[in-house]
Amino acid sequence: MAPTDSKSTEDLAHEVLQALSEADSILSTEKFANVPFESLKAALDRLSARSMVAYEQIEGEEAILEPEAEEVVQHGSSEARVFEAVRKAMDGLSIQDLESTIGDKTVTKVGQGKAFKEKWIKKDGSKLVALVDSINDVTRDQLRVIKEKRTHDKKILTDLKKRKLIRLQKTLSFKFSKGPKYALELVKEETDLTAEMIASGSWKTATFKPYNFKALGADQHSGALHPLGKVRGEFRQLFFEMGFTEMPTSQYVESGFWNFDTLFVPQQHPARDLQDTFYISDPKMADRPRAESADDKKDYKAYFENVRQVHENGKYGSIGYRYPWAEEESLRLVLRTHTTSVSSAMLHKLAYEKGPDGRPPPVRYFSIDRVFRNEKVDATHLCEFHQVEGVIADYGLTLGGLMEFMSIFFGKMGLTGLKFKPAYNPYTEPSMEIFSYHEGLGKLIEIGNSGMFRPEMLEAMGLPSDLRVYGFGLSLERPTMIKYGISNIRELLGHGVDLNFVQTNPAVRLDKD
């Protein structure tokens, strides 16, 4: 009886042992052709683990007929069909008649050409006539052989493949023979040593299944880090390596004062519009900036006044915006639109710090946290995203230094050959957008925004006029999407995220691209 699909591994193993009692070595293509490859492999593996059977896997190739070739096997090749039709019509056949006899335009056309070439037919006036009495339909014969044997001479196979009549397919089969422990019966193997076996003494004669050290362990359920978290971790490491300290960014709600006014963003600026910024409705307003604890000795009142004056009339060499600056606007609560609000508060704090020379010391700050913008959600925009922000304060800094720093910073993630484009931010002058060539997209893409903070912003805080401050910002989502090959941001953040995606994605390193 031929083995079938539904056999258990054990039944199959028995059949293999049985078959080997009659022959020393067996090819699976001969005796087990109908058994699915995987089932047979499982049975052979079981037997070879007990050294009852030895087997090797053989890779081969077989030829399969394409549908057109099946036609040829059934009805003959086009040229043979044309020849037959012409031969049968004793006194020749017109082309129209040939076509209706054969009933297939392509067969008629292709077959005619070939039959002419073989000199089986010729044209006699308006008719086609046969030149020979009989022909050999070689193609049909070849295909018949292949249909049965699944192979033929190499040359013939190559030729038929070129003619798209057959295709070649890889095959896997086994050759197996008796192993050193060959026996007709499979002894039951114990997998566990039980208390009963010890009590009864049956363990002495039992056959134990050998350990399989190659077996894969069961899948473990474990927590997984979100891709954004992993890339965030990479960025943090990078900042720490470069001597930065992390800014406290846990406060999502800010007053317009810290989010906009301290950054010299005028109160009529479009970014402050309801369409771009989420305003808090309850409570609507913040108190004026003030000390939160007894040891906070910063003069918030003076700072608030300075900011007002810088906006209204200008100060510290600036002519200001010259508009009536409204305190109510400044105290409105917003969901922060950038983490530069935190940079601003940190720089204000720095104005009160004293280095060895009694002046604010050079610092490097960074943060990576959530910001909110009232944007239309699409494939690349969400209402909230994460901003990577950096601030470097030192004496004698120049724009060239910022460009160099950005090159080093992005170079650490494999982004080189940066391009800088002049840009505008109310709080920096000069400002530069940073672009990098993206190999995959084949174009320059914006990767960050940067600049040198304006003197009227820094001096209003009480920072010395020769202290220069670089600032830069980028989104965390963009590099993450590039690294993980995600084209829709909703696959990364929000309710559209597939937990499987989070679980199965490997950690990516920024410098590998």
Ligand X SMILES: N[C@@H](Cc1ccccc1)C(=O)O
State the residues that interact with ligand X by CB under 6 A: 338, 340, 389, 425, 428, 449-451, 471-473
Distance CA 152, CA 141 (A): 11
* Pairing outcome for strands 363-372 and 245-246: parallel
Q: Which is nearer to ligand X, 410 or 472 (CB)?
A: 472
The owner of tokens 């293509």 is 29
Distance CA 187, CA 27 (A): 25
**At its nearest, how many Å lie between ligand X and the CB of residue 391?**
7
DSSP 277: S
12, 39 contact by CB (below 8 A): yes
**At its nearest, how many Å lie between ligand X and the CB of residue 215?**
53
Q: What is the DSSP string of 217-273?
A: PPPPP-----HHHHHHHHHHHHHHHTT-EEPP----EEEHHHHTGGGT--TT-GGGS
Q: Which is nearer to ligand X, 83 or 427 (CB)?
A: 427
Report the Cα 182 to chain-centroid distance in Å.
49
Q: Map residue 387 onto helix, strand or coil.
A: strand
306, 249 contact by CB (below 8 A): no
Distance CA 204, CA 305 (A): 94
**At its nearest, how many Å lie between ligand X and the CB of residue 306?**
20
**At its nearest, how many Å lie between ligand X and the CB of residue 472?**
6
**At its nearest, how many Å lie between ligand X and the CB of residue 347?**
11
Q: Which is nearer to ligand X, 86 or 263 (CB)?
A: 263
**At its nearest, how many Å lie between ligand X and the CB of residue 364?**
13
Q: Which is nearer to ligand X, 104 or 446 (CB)?
A: 446
Q: Which is nearer to ligand X, 338 or 348 (CB)?
A: 338
Q: How many CB atoms lie within 10 A of CB 281?
A: 7
**At its nearest, how many Å lie between ligand X and the CB of residue 450?**
5
Q: Which is nearer to ligand X, 79 or 389 (CB)?
A: 389
Residue 423's φ and ψ, nearest 5 degrees, are -145, -175
Distance CA 258, CA 427 (A): 12
* CA torsion, ordered 136, 139, 142, 143, to nearest 10 deg: -130
Report the Cα 307 to chain-centroid distance in Å.
47
* Pairing outcome for strands 419-425 and 384-395: unpaired
**At its nearest, how many Å lie between ligand X and the CB of residue 276?**
11
- State both tokens at 102: 């054969």
Q: Which is nearer to ligand X, 256 or 473 (CB)?
A: 473
Question: Over the range 43-59, which residues count as b (16 or more CB within 10 Å of their CB) and which as e?
Answer: bbebbeebebbbbeeee
**At its nearest, how many Å lie between ligand X and the CB of residue 366?**
11
For the chain, the C-alpha Rg in angstroms (whole number) is 41
**At its nearest, how many Å lie between ligand X and the CB of residue 340?**
4
Burial class (CB in 10 A: 0-12, 13-18, 19+), 257: buried
